[in-house]
Structures are given as C-alpha cells and as structure tokens.
Amino acid sequence: MVEVTVTPQSSLSDRPVEIRVRGLSPSQLVTLRAWLKDEHGERFQSRAFFRADGSGEVDPGTHAALGGSYSGVWPMGLFWFLQPDTLFRRLVKRDVAGSPFLVRLEVYDGLQLVPDPPEQPLASCEAERWFVGPGVQRVPIREGRVRGALFLPP
C-alpha cells in the first residue's frame, strides 16, 4: 500500500517539512503533486517526477526530481514552486492569523503532465502551513501614510 506523509503535518510556513512516499515498487516512476486553493478559490500547484529507490521510497530531501516544476534535490520544492492555474495570479495570504493554507500532496503512478489527472492518486495527505504561531498577537499600524502590522510574541 502506497503512503505519502508530511512531517510535521501542521507547521509554520517558513519551517521545513519532510515529505516521504513509501510502498512503491523499486525504481517505480511517480509524480508527486502539491496543490492548494487560496482565499479567492484560485488553485496553485506544482509537480515533480521521481524514481523510487530500491526500497520503494521517495524522499525529495535526498532524491533528485527528474523534472516537472523543478529538477534536482529541493526538499521543499513542491511548496516553493507552486504556480497559479490562472496566469498573473499571486499567492497571497490575507488572513494570516485565522487559518492556514491547506496543501494537498498526491502521488500518481508514472508521469502526470495534465493539470487535473484523470486517475485517482495512489496516495494523498494534507499539510497545514500557518503564517502566525500560537499566541502571537497582531496589532494593525496606521500612522499617517504608514500602514502595517506588528506581530507580538506570546
């Protein structure tokens, strides 16, 4: 049985996570796909192609992506290379304190080049990427023409 995991499952957006795929056949070619929808419902996604090692595992932190949104060893590449489905959209988080981005990770057999693969993924999981840690207070700043926010630790 194929399994994909993100450790930790819930983390701050600037913290690295480990992505692992287990249960593949040795040397199996797979596509790892990450996607999320922003607060306006726009989808952003990335994909990378990997060949499983002799144990049937894929670890983007040590295995090089063979192509897709990036190539080479990029442990956080699936998160860093998210691109909009609609041109000229930017990934912006407005409600930084109230909710995380929910990033869906999926594993597909073979090379999946289309934005919406027609087949079901072999495995999937979800990662929460928060922008503000627990207990952090956000104070809006409005002084003359200056606008901003001050984030105070607990």
pLDDT of residue 90: 93
Name the pLDDT band for 4 (thresholds 50, 70, 90). very high
Joined tokens for residue 33: 């796909």
Of 22-31, 48-57, 96-105, minimum mean pLDDT range: 96-105
Name the pLDDT band for 45 (thresholds 50, 70, 90). very high
pTM for this prediction: 0.89
Name 106's bridge partners.
33, 124
Please report, rounded to a whole number, the percentage of residues in the chain having pLDDT higher than 70: 100
Name the residue range of residue 17's domain: 3-152
Under DSSP, is residue 78 helix (H, G, I), strand (E, B) or coil? helix
Residue 25 has pLDDT above 90, yes or no: yes
Place of tokens 């990662």: 127
CATH number at 24 reads 2.60.40.2240
Name 29's bridge partners.
51
Name the pLDDT band for 97 (thresholds 50, 70, 90). confident
Work out how many domains the chain is built from and give that number.
1
Distances in whole angstroms, Cα of residue 127 to Cα of each of 27, 100, 115, 154: 26, 9, 20, 24
pLDDT of residue 12: 95
pLDDT of residue 15: 95
